[in-house]
Amino acid sequence: MTEDARPAIAARTTAYRPERTLPLRVELVRQLRRRRTLVTFGLMALLPLVIWTAFELAASGPPVGSLNLVDLARTSGPNFAVFALFVSASFLLVVVVALFFGDTVAAEASWSSLRYLLAAPIPRARLLRQKALVAGGLAATALLLLPVVALVVGTLAYGAGDLVSPTGESLAFWPACGRVLLGAVYVAVQLSWVAGLAALLSVSTDAPLGAVGGAVMASIVSQILDQITALEDLRNYLPTHYSDAWAGLLATEIDWGDMTRGVFSALAYALVFFGAAVWLFGRKDVTS
């Protein structure tokens, strides 16, 4: 071996660094260019306009004795945003989170590009981590986009009034905006268990629709079981039991109890699901 060849061989040997494979910027650009990402963001931005249009087309009914979210939605921007978040949190936002995470690995497998990514070579744990980080960022952005647009639309349509809760308590406009955004953050954290389950299903199948649908179905089943009062305290262990705990933010004095339990419950489920996803993906025979 000549002295001139040694530097070239050494350069080729040290060129590969696992920590430099699949940079977040590259994965983010790839995902932002996908149609499903653009459609999801567009839907989150258009939903408040759709709700406002429905309110404008609906006939105004006679006043009722008790306050409800539908009647309060047209009283101020914050109330409109609370209504938009409430009607979308139990299903639509679940679908959004499941879509971004369930599509991470399963989509690559369905395109027959997963084996080429791993042959780059990209370590499997890093591949899953990079995709999960980008999916989490996109999902969180979509979830926060909804209340932000709803606040703007509601304020333009109904004014910058106080946030009035169904119990009659009220908050000034700017503190109310903060409570609405904090509620959206709680919903995003609470749905982390959906993200973990969708990621686990994504590494288990080559069909993205199966991973997304499985996570959504699990959420629906959990919500149904949570309505069965005969289960008593067992319902506390369901991942969706504290999904509506952010409603405590609408009160003058915030009750952090249920929200704290909801955060810990969701993160515990998410940790188990993501851990299982990493373990399974590291041992999976990738053929597509």
pLDDT in tens, 50-95: 999 999 887 665 555 556 788 889 999 999 999 999 999 999 999 9
48 in a structural domain: yes
Quick check: helix, strand or coil at residue 234? helix
Angle between helices 92-102 and 192-202 (to 10 degrees): 40
Q: Would you state the structure tokens that stand for residue 101, as one six-digit string?
A: 């995470």
In whole angstroms, what is the distance from residue 242 CA to residue 190 CA?
8
Let me know if residue 59 belongs to a domain: no
**Is 12 a member of any domain?**
no
| C-alpha pair distances (Å), 253 with each of 82, 186, 249 | 17, 17, 8
Higher pLDDT, 91 or 126: 91
> Does pLDDT of 2 surpass 60?
no
- The answer to whether residue 27 sits within a structural domain is no
9-50 pLDDT per residue, tens: 444 545 667 767 778 898 899 899 989 999 999 999 999 999
Backbone angles phi, psi at 20, to 5 degrees: -100, -5
CB 131 within 8 A of CB 33: no
The answer, yes or no, to whether residue 139 has pLDDT greater than 70, is yes
Residue 140 lies in a domain: yes
Q: What percent of the chain has pLDDT over 90?
A: 61
pLDDT tens string 166-200: 878 889 999 999 999 999 999 999 999 999 999 99
Structure token digits, residue 32: 């932002």
- DSSP alpha helix (H) spans, the chain: 5-15, 24-32, 35-57, 69-72, 77-89, 92-102, 106-110, 114-118, 124-158, 173-190, 192-202, 208-226, 257-283
pLDDT score, position 137: 95
Residue 63's nearest CA partner among 45, 75, 47 is: 75
The model's confidence at residue 6, banded by pLDDT at 50, 70 and 90, is low
Model confidence over 93-124: pLDDT tens digits?
999 999 999 988 888 888 877 777 777 788 88
Confidence of residue 126 (pLDDT cuts 50, 70, 90): confident
List the structure tokens of 130.
Answer: 């990079």
Q: Which domain holds residue 278?
A: 35-53+72-283
pLDDT of residue 64: 53
User: What is the arithmetic mean of pLDDT over 200-215?
Assistant: 91
Q: Quickly tell me which residue has 């199948």 as its tokens.
A: 205
What's residue 10's pLDDT? 47
247-272 confidence digits (pLDDT tens): 999 888 888 999 999 999 999 999 99
- Does residue 7 sit within a domain? no
Is residue 206 assigned to a domain?
A: yes
Structure pTM? Answer: 0.89
Is 18 among the domain residues? no
Distance CA 78, CA 180 (A): 7
Q: Token pair for residue 266?
A: 């969701």
Helix axes 77-89, 173-190, angle to 10 degrees: 10
Number of domains forming the structure of the chain: 1
The span from the CA of 2 to the CA of 42, in Å, is: 61
